[in-house]
Amino acid sequence: MDSEIDLKQIWLMIWNKKWIILIVVLVFLMLGSVYTFYFVTPEYTASTTLILVKSQSDTEVTTSDVTLNDKLISTYREMAKSDKIINLVLQEYNIKDISAGELKNKIAVTTVSDTQMLKISITDEDPKIATNIANALAEVFIDQVPEYFNLNNAKVYQEAVMPTSPSNVNHVRDIAIAGIAGFAVSVLVIVLISIIDDTIKTSKDIEDGVGLTVLAELPDIDFDK
């Protein structure tokens, strides 16, 4: 039998199964709610922003200074999350309950688009720890810059402020994604069943399948009457 996809038939099948789809969506919404409220560990992200400036504050900033900072900012980004800086932070601030490897996984250093700014972010389950380490990392990094580049052009533009809400939890988003996933899964299953189902249900199926015209149909008879 020709397995042509009849979009109208598929739509009717989806519509006829709307209650099943609704139930599946509700189940997914419940699962999404349980997941986002009970299985996601809240994590907090604190960020310190640095700005690259001219070393000598008593002179005007020139084009060459801007060009130099543009070239250095990528180097600074990698340097800020290097093992050397991380180990100095752990030593100077006497942090013993976290290893260098664990701390490195918590660090994100990004450049602010079209600026000469660096954002150092720390993500941790404790918002106070995230804030303290972000500020500490920035200070250690600034102290190390003159040692390697003979420059003093990195300054704190904005210190990290302790976050009050998790950065990895968005209940509305998670529940909405679960609902959309439930709808997509249920519709996909219904469509697949419709495509692979080659049983004859109507006279049109006969005409499409064998290419013959149906001359007559027997009506359904209720013999209990």
Neighbours of 44 (CB within 10 A): 22
Q: Give the end of a domain, one of 158, 181, 202.
A: 158
Question: Residues 144, 58: one domain?
Answer: yes
Angstrom distance (rounded) from CA 190 to CA 170? 31
Q: What is the DSSP letter of 32?
A: H
Asked if 23 and 49 sit in the same domain, the reply is no
CB 140 within 8 A of CB 89: yes
Q: How many angstroms separate the CA atoms of 26 and 20, rounded?
A: 10
Dist. CA 54–CA 152, nearest whole Å: 8
Same domain, 76 and 134: yes
Residues 17 and 88 in one domain: no
Q: Does one domain contain both 137 and 91?
A: yes
State the CATH number of the domain containing residue 146: 3.30.70.1130
Reported as a pLDDT band with limits 50, 70 and 90, residue 1 is very low
Average pLDDT, integer, range 120-146: 95
Residue 143 lies in a domain: yes
| Residues 143 and 113 placed together within one structural domain of the fold | yes
Give yes or no for a contact between 85 and 144, defined as CB atoms under 8 angstroms apart.
yes
Backbone angles phi, psi at 84, to 5 degrees: -60, -50
Question: In this structure, is residue 2 part of a structural domain?
Answer: no
Contact 197, 4 (CB under 8 A): no
Question: Considering the domain boundaries, does residue 165 fall inside one?
Answer: no
More confident residue, 6 or 175: 175
Closest C-alpha among 126, 127, 86, 79 to residue 103: 86
* Interval 150-205: pLDDT, tens: 888 889 999 999 999 999 999 999 999 999 999 999 999 988 887 776 666 666 66
Q: Is residue 217 part of a domain?
A: no
Residues 187 and 125 in one domain: no
Q: Are residues 116 and 180 in the same domain?
A: no
Cβ 190 vs Cβ 13: under 8 Å: yes
Listed in order, strand segments (DSSP E) in the chain are 44-52, 107-111, 117-124, 154-158
1 within some domain? no
Number of domains in the chain: 2
Q: What is this structure's pTM? A: 0.70
Q: Verify that 195 and 103 share a domain, yes or no.
A: no
Domain range for 74 is 44-158
Domain assignment present for residue 139? The answer is yes
Taking CA 131 as the corner, what is the angle to CA 122 and CA 150, rounded to the nearest 5 degrees? 75
Do 191 and 121 lie in one domain? The reply is no
Q: What is the pLDDT of residue 65?
A: 58
Q: DSSP characters for 160-219? A: ----SS-SS--HHHHHHHHHHHHHHHHHHHHHHHHHH-----SHHHHHHHH-------PP
Q: 56 and 133: one domain?
A: yes
Does 137 share its domain with 60? yes
Confidence of residue 212 (pLDDT cuts 50, 70, 90): low
139: pLDDT strictly greater than 90: yes
The residues that bridge with 109 in the sheet, in sequence order, are 120
What's the burial of 7, exposed, middle or buried (CB within 10 Å: 0-12/13-18/19+)? exposed
Residue 89 lies inside a defined structural domain of this protein: yes
In a domain, 164, yes or no: no
Q: How far apart are CA 98 and CA 35, in angstroms?
A: 28
Which residues lie across from 118 on neighbouring strands?
Answer: 50, 111
Instruction: Report the candidate in 127, 161, 157 with the shortest Cα–Cα distance to residue 142.
Output: 157
